[in-house]
Structure 1
Amino acid sequence: MKTQSLLYASVLALAQLGQCSPTPTRELERRDLISDAIHNLEDGLSAAANEGFDVVGKILTNLDNIVPTARPASVQDAMNGCQEILAPTGQPKPNLVAAIGQLVAGGLTSDSKSSLGGSLDKDENSFVNNNARSPWPPAYPRAGLHDAPYSISESALRAAIHIPSSFRYGARGAPQPIIMVPGTGSTGYLTFQGNYIPLLQGSNIADPVWLNIPEYALNDIQLNAEYVAYAINYIWGMCNHRKVAVLTWSQGSLMGQWAYKYWPSTRSRVTDQISISPDYHGTVAANLISPPGIAYPPSILQQQYNSQFVATLRSGGGDQAYVPTTNVYSGFFDEIVEPQQGDGASGFLSSSRTAEASNTEVQKACPFALAGGFYDHETTLANPVGYALLVDALKHDGPGKLERINLDSVCNNLLSPGLGLGDFLATQNNLLVAGVQTFLYHPLVLVEPEIKGYARGGSSGYGYRA
């Protein structure tokens, strides 16, 4: 009964949150209510299944009932609102359920739970894309002698690649192809619709396609990485063997690194990986989100800081760059990936003897400047330093480097040039999408998936360092 009471309190907090009007008194009441819910929710989740309480159903129902009570007037206003919710001064950080509810109520996402379906149903967000043309040489069953075997069919791997009608297939004079890879709980379209899709589509910088990985990338990361490995070889083969770039967010960095390690054919076909909010070492926050004994989607368990997946990836050179890699992350404040500061950041990757990595914490790149302020896990995608480093990386051999960038100009902006408030809210929407999809995912697991045979023991011959 205690568990039910705690969960009912948490659900009630979300229910009442949706009813609050945007007055100062109500705002204080709302924060107090959510503060109580923060401590109650995780205590109750572990016993919820045994006591038969449908906490997920109740949370989703109450998220449905939350509607924005205000809208930010500017990008700075929106950033301030996100900071007050995700990194409140002198208060404990909210759990993600509470944070999502507060963001929606504050008008800090482009959708509410009830309106989210419109974004999910767009053709650009499809998991079943019609890519009838075949590459040369074939990308399946193997593009290279030392590539690991795929466990997913070629038709399924190919269907996850969304190629917009504007894509020029590496034609003469066209910008370099770039493959966009999403993070946990999102798709390529939803991840990048408010940032790099509008920044790059139709530009002379890069020509984007993106991956909409089934199950919103909540499944086994080893499987998710197969989509990345295949996409690299497919797009390369479809673009007259023109090398591609790869842009990743969050878990996408792990997918890319796993793909390079165990499908080494990809390495010579990629000029750059640009990773925003990467977590090459997983996150200690995942240990808080998914404490022992609670079932979660596989990829969340795999992103625990000392998970078997992370340990396997980082062994044998996997903690170093396989391709020129540009990493960009926020030390203040990534609510998903921690630690994310200095050389100990999860987003930090060492250079190898064959490929250089650059690692940029935006607050250190732009101290006391607009671009060095508060950026969370999602909105770092819109940070102007990240965009400037991407442009620099694609123009030069090796990763993007701060010394080639006009930081006086770049740091004086909140967002990448051309982005506005609507783009910022669409980018922040990723947290709502990820939260909802995490609740809807099935089947949940208590332990992370077993490491694939090709990655065990180091004697398989796959993923040798070229």
Structure 2
Amino acid sequence: MFCGHAEFIVTQTDVNIEAEALLDGIITSSPSGVESLFNKTLQLKQSGLFTGDFTDLASRAAEGNSLVIGTNPAPSSVVYPQKSSTDAPYSASEASLRSAVKIPTSFTFGQKPPVILVPGTASTGYIAFVGNYLKLLTGQSYADPVWLDVPNYLLGDAQVNAEYVAYAINYISSISNNQNVSVIAWSQGNLNTQWALKYWPSTRGIVSDFISMSADFHGTTEAYLICLSAPELGCTPSVIQQEYESLYVNALRRNGGDSAYVPTTSIYSATDDIVQPQSGTGASAFLQDGRNFGVTNAELQTICPGQPAGGVVSHGDVLINALAYALAVDALTHDGPGSLSRIDLPTVCAQPIAPGLDLNDFLLNESTSIFALLAISEYNPKVAVEPPLKSYALLN
């Protein structure tokens, strides 16, 4: 789904103290649950920290286009219409699939390990990650990030959204000297990635790590509340598909889809304001390891109880969480999933925000929820029921 907020103050010496206090007031006065998104949007606008509208935020998505190469190169091997005869068919054109892959001018085409950043519902790759993993990973020796801007902000059919992930995995590997890639996904992006791994088997052998943030692999009981402001208008297709026990979710999870297809690190918060349930083995983000690839299920509050990194962390602020970042880096720099045994937990749990991020990044991350609410309100046509399953999903 999309982001909310965490209850912490960003404590860094170069942060403006007045803005910090104002943010703390906004954060601690907001109720929990989906309604906090609406309240926080209003409060951020009233505070003067955000004054824009949908047009202003949409221009933020376009900002990323100034950072990418002009034309994406052709793959070195066939990846469309199928890389393997076992892959599901694409409904989107190759031109659309390829243009959604945003390759920054800094990309090394295989000299460093590629990492694909997959956004969540009502967002773009640039908006979702500019205030966190784009900044944190760019220039690192162990990661070379690209991002996806899926059409319609991932509000359309989630099955089609997954096509963009499947294509990106094979495409980025192909233009990177056939190097393996890793995927960092947030919210719906995790469902799309798991769907791609399930129904495009050619992707599995070239994904070194799947790092999952705030996943709703089992859907969420909160999904339809997002559209309750105007129930007579219906909702967006992918939001309905993320309802708990939707057709889409059940298709994904059956026949072993509730187990990892590649080494997977799933990071989630029990206080998630969008995805519930999100605690214990019943958490929507919890993945099984039936294929023995290695899975780390990391509930922030269980690992860092009563500490800043394990406090009240919302759906979106998992992306700026210090423990989540430490696990992501550990996964990217080791074989298999991220391991808590290799992390200095006393130090990491005491950090309220990932090292390297500041107040501006916090605000960028927070604005994602504003963009999401506006994008959902602008999306048409709204629907009352989820899209039918693709024929290939009916068979497996």
Q: Common fold, TM-score beyond 0.5? A: yes
- Is 1:269 matched with 2:210? no
Q: Which secondary structure does the structure 1 equivalent of 2:153 belong to?
A: helix
Q: Distance in 1 between matches of 2:190 and 2:66?
A: 20
Q: Which secondary structure does the structure 2 equivalent of 1:284 belong to?
A: coil
- Is 1:382 matched with 2:320? yes
- Is 1:158 matched with 2:98? yes
Q: Percent of aligned pairs with the same residue?
A: 46
Q: Distance in 1 between matches of 2:52 and 2:380?
A: 24
Write the mapping of 1:442-461 to structure 2, written as runs, cut at 5 A. 442-458=380-396
Cα 1:391–1:132 shift into 2, 3 Å: closer
Q: Distance in 2 between matches of 1:396 and 1:318?
A: 25
The offset of 1:367, in angstroms, is 1.4
Q: Distance in 2 between matches of 1:110 and 1:198?
A: 24
Write the mapping of 1:49-448 to structure 2, written as runs, cut at 5 A. 73=18, 78=23, 81-87=26-32, 94=35, 96-106=37-47, 115-124=56-65, 130-171=70-111, 174=112, 176-290=113-227, 294-332=233-271, 334-448=272-386
RMSD between superposed Cα atoms in Å: 2.2
Q: Which secondary structure does the structure 2 equivalent of 1:124 belong to?
A: helix
Q: Which secondary structure does the structure 1 equivalent of 2:222 belong to?
A: helix
Contact 1:358 1:401 in 2 (8 A): yes
Q: Distance in 2 between matches of 1:157 and 1:304?
A: 26
Cα 1:280–1:326 shift into 2, 3 Å: same
Q: Which amino acid aligns with 1:317?
A: G
Match of 2:6 in 1: none
For structure 1, the residue ranges without an aligned partner over 5 or more in a row are 1-70, 459-466
> Quick one: higher RCO (CA 8 Å, sep 6+), 1 or 2?
2
Cα 1:189–1:123 shift into 2, 3 Å: closer
* Deviations 1:414-440, CA, capped at 9 Å, x for gaps: 111110011011011110011000011
* Deviations 1:349-400, CA, capped at 9 Å, x for gaps: 1112242211111111111212112211111100011111011111222110
The offset of 1:132, in angstroms, is 4.0
Cα 1:130–1:144 shift into 2, 3 Å: farther
Match of 1:19 in 2: none
The offset of 1:138, in angstroms, is 1.3
Cα 1:220–1:329 shift into 2, 3 Å: same
Q: Distance in 2 between matches of 1:108 and 1:336?
A: 23
Cα 1:403–1:248 shift into 2, 3 Å: same
Contact 1:158 1:231 in 2 (8 A): yes
The offset of 1:241, in angstroms, is 0.9
Q: Which secondary structure does the structure 1 equivalent of 2:267 belong to?
A: strand
For structure 2, the residue ranges without an aligned partner over 5 or more in a row are 1-15
Q: Distance in 1 between matches of 2:51 and 2:320?
A: 15
Cα 1:426–1:407 shift into 2, 3 Å: same
- What count of residue pairs does the alignment treat as equivalent? 379
The offset of 1:231, in angstroms, is 0.3
Say which is worse superposed, 132-141 or 115-124, in terms of deviation: 115-124
Cα 1:427–1:154 shift into 2, 3 Å: same
Contact 2:64 2:126 in 1 (8 A): no
Q: Which secondary structure does the structure 2 equivalent of 1:271 belong to?
A: strand
The offset of 1:109, in angstroms, is 5.4
* Deviations 1:128-184, CA, capped at 9 Å, x for gaps: 98534211211111111200011111010000000000000112xx3x100000000
Q: Which amino acid aligns with 1:122?
A: E
The offset of 1:81, in angstroms, is 2.8
Q: Distance in 1 between matches of 2:174 and 2:194?
A: 21
| Structure-1-length-normalised TM-score | 0.77
Q: Distance in 1 between matches of 2:187 and 2:156?
A: 15
| Structure-2-length-normalised TM-score | 0.90
Q: Which amino acid aligns with 2:279?
A: Q
